[in-house]
Amino acid sequence: MLDVTSTWVEPSSTATALLLLGRGSDPATERGVECPGELPAPSDPDLVARATAAKAALGEKVFVLGHHYQRDEVIQFADVTGDSFKLAREAAARPDAEYIVFCGVHFMAESADILTSDAQKVILPDLAAGCSMADMAVLSQVETAWETLAELGVAAGTVPVTYMNSSADIKGFVGRNGGVVCTSSNAERALTWAFERGERVLFLPDQHLGRNTAVLEMGFDLADCVLYDPHKPGGGLTPEQLRDARMILWRGHCSVHGRFTLDSVDEVRERVPGVNVLVHPECRHEVVTAADQVGSTEYIIKTIEAAPAGSAWAIGTELNLVRRLANANPDKQIMFLDRAVCYCSTMNRIDLPHLVWALEELVAGRVPNQITVDPATAEHARTALDQMLALP
């Protein structure tokens, strides 16, 4: 059996520093959404017993969803695990669960609220669990971009497509303007649908998923893609660039997947001969181009499960998932693509104390941290989400 621990790297102080940085710098924290009420101490030896008891007391009334990037201490209480798309569908498929406790980030809980009935309440155990990528596209900025396209006379031929990792406001904008939501597993199908309806796409908010899908999966040229910077007038682009573009990529990225570099790929190939490099499409274009395989979180899991014993894999995605895959596949050599490992700091805000607190509040008859999307936004966002569900 291969020694997995020899290639496994625990979080470095850099990662810890990033974690701490994330706690203080997130827009959600700045909006003053610290967890209300008494949080149990992380050192409380009864946390597992308390979560178990609270969940048992709630019975069928509660359904706990856990994103693949969540900590093990939280995942052990998830009724189902999955990527953001699968979890939203799972929430929608549980009409009898009065409370959906979403162990993930804010945009995922919003999508669950949109897809569930009015009688169901979606709870995010820590309201400060946002997503830095989703925060990079703000509705007012996107409306300004759309006005610029309208002034140039090209908005009518442009179809907006947003990644699931965006706020309900952005999904609502996309729904109002004839577009579609996509995930990392159906981005190619969503873009094909969009190009049947327009000559160009405004892709929000992840430039990398947009570029990687258009260029590597659909045969577009890098020159067909332009990068729209919401902090510059006209996106920092000339009218000709905007008119000629096939893909207008929003200048957004994931702070976790954006850390992987071409050097990470070169370094691991040198260190581990024969290694397979498997990355998420939120990684930079040069990283995805140099990798052996690219795919969504679910694709990464399936690929590792199906891999032959003895094979070696360097995985470019979030640390909690890679570590769980390493533990579940001791006959394979699983390593993180970059030694300067990094958790998603916002995903990690959901820890066992927050989960225990949320469940015990529900047992006490109080609904903590409910996520609600206003009805008008929800209606348009649902149009864009339903369009995604209807993709051929």
84 among annotated binding-site residues: yes
Q: For the chain, how big is the Rg over CA atoms in Å?
A: 21
Nearer to ligand SF4, 22 or 198 (CB): 22
**Does 29 sit near ligand SF4 (CB under 6 A)?**
no
Nearer to ligand 13P, 141 or 297 (CB): 297
165 among annotated binding-site residues: yes
Smallest separation (angstroms) from ligand 13P to the CB of 234: 29
AA letter at 180: V
Spell out, one character per residue from 170 to 189, where the chain touches ligand 13P: x when CB under 6 A holds, - when not: -------------xx-----
Total number of residues binding ligand 13P (CB under 6 A)? Answer: 12
Read off the tokens for 4: 């997995």
Nearer to ligand SF4, 33 or 154 (CB): 33
Nearer to ligand 13P, 111 or 333 (CB): 111
Place of tokens 């929003």: 250
**Does 360 sit near ligand 13P (CB under 6 A)?**
no
Contact 355, 75 (CB under 8 A): no
Closest alpha carbon to 178 in 154, 190, 160: 160
Q: Cα-flanking dihedrals φ and ψ of residue 234, to 5°?
A: 60, 20
**Does 296 sit near ligand 13P (CB under 6 A)?**
yes
Nearer to ligand SF4, 91 or 237 (CB): 91
AA letter at 20: L
Q: Of 347, 350, 362, 384, which lies in the binding site for ligand SF4, with binding defined by CB under 6 A?
A: 347
Cα→Cα distances 241→153, 158, 229, 238, Å: 13, 14, 13, 5
Contact 107, 167 (CB under 8 A): yes
Read off the tokens for 112: 């669950």
Separation between Cα atoms, residue 134 and residue 322, nearest integer Å: 23
Note the helical H segments in the chain. Answer: 13-25, 27-30, 47-58, 72-75, 84-92, 106-115, 139-151, 168-176, 187-195, 207-212, 239-244, 262-271, 285-290, 297-306, 319-328, 352-363, 375-389
Nearer to ligand 13P, 51 or 334 (CB): 334
Total number of residues binding ligand SF4 (CB under 6 A)? Answer: 13
Q: Judging by DSSP bridges, how do beta strands 312-316 and 293-294 pair with one another?
A: unpaired
Closest alpha carbon to 323 in 338, 313, 334: 334
Contact region with ligand 13P (CB under 6 A), list: 23-31, 81-89, 285-293, 352-360: 81-89
Q: Given CA atoms 176, 138, 206, 229 in this order, what sign does their dihedral have? A: positive
Contact region with ligand SF4 (CB under 6 A), list: 176-184, 248-256, 265-273, 378-386: 248-256
Contact region with ligand SF4 (CB under 6 A), list: 1-9, 127-135, 144-152, 178-186: 127-135
Contact region with ligand 13P (CB under 6 A), list: 20-28, 83-91, 209-217, 383-391: 83-91
Q: Of 254, 314, 341, 350, which lies in the binding site for ligand 13P, with binding defined by CB under 6 A?
A: 254
Smallest separation (angstroms) from ligand SF4 to the CB of 206: 7
**Does 165 sit near ligand SF4 (CB under 6 A)?**
yes
Contact 187, 214 (CB under 8 A): no
**Does 87 sit near ligand SF4 (CB under 6 A)?**
no
Q: Of 87, 145, 288, 344, which lies in the binding site for ligand SF4, with binding defined by CB under 6 A?
A: 344
Q: Which residues contact 30 (CB under 8 A, 6 or more apart)?
A: none
For residue 231, the number of C-alpha atoms closer than 13 Å in the C-beta half-sphere is 3
Nearer to ligand SF4, 296 or 333 (CB): 296
Q: Of 47, 100, 131, 378, which lies in the binding site for ligand SF4, with binding defined by CB under 6 A?
A: 131
Q: Which residues bind to ligand 13P, rule: CB under 6 A?
A: 83-85, 131, 164-165, 183-184, 254, 282, 296-297
Residues annotated within the binding site are 67, 84, 131, 163-165, 184, 254, 280-282, 297, 344
